[in-house]
Amino acid sequence: MSLKLEKLKLLCLIQVCLTNKLYVYLHKIIRMAKRILTPKTRNSGTMTESAFWSFIRSGLRQKSRWWKPISECKAKAKRPYNGPLKRQKFEYQCNQCKGWFPDKKINIDHIVPAGTLTCAQDLPGFVERLFCEVDNLQVLCTGCHDIKTQKENGRRKRNRKTVDK
């Protein structure tokens, strides 16, 4: 059956449900529609395209944690800690706000974002940006990193909307 026919059937079912006040079935119909619209084409029919590329992206990011330039970037921003906490040995300076923070409160950030990975054509550029050298990395505290990430995500969403129009 074609996708348009499936959508038309779905709309008819929704209309019948609403007119007969069978709201309970509406949720089941919506779940059914999601299954119809997202075919599982990867991993022997068990993964959608989105889930597959999320899986690949996650694996690459996990391996990038051991990339040598990341530890070099951290080492450049490190100094010995002289405060009252006995277990804390070092603190790191945020590149944005210039404050000093413990290891658990910092993130190593890509100055030029690694970007998205949604298809095979994105793979070479994503890998190139993810496994970059020290000049594209910076230490940011959690607060500054969250703000920067929100701005980047907002830009990405706006760009996606202009492409869709």
93-151 residue pLDDT tens: 999 999 999 999 999 999 999 988 989 999 999 999 999 999 999 999 999 999 999 99
Say if CB 159 and CB 115 are below 8 A apart.
Answer: no
Q: Write the CB contacts of 67 (distance below 8 Å, at least 6 apart in sequence).
A: 131
Per-residue pLDDT tens digits for 13-62: 666 655 555 666 666 766 666 556 678 888 998 899 899 999 999 999 99
DSSP 47: B
Strands (E), the chain: 78-80, 90-93, 100-101, 106-110, 137-141
Phi, psi of 25 (to 5 degrees): -80, -15
Say if CB 26 and CB 15 are below 8 A apart.
Answer: no
Task: Give the start-to-end residue ranges of the domains of the chain.
Answer: 61-164
Question: How many Å apart are CA 13 and CA 6, to the nearest integer?
Answer: 11
Instruction: Count Cβ atoms within 10 A of the Cβ of residue 80 and give its class: 0-12 exposed, 13-18 middle, 19 or more buried.
Output: exposed
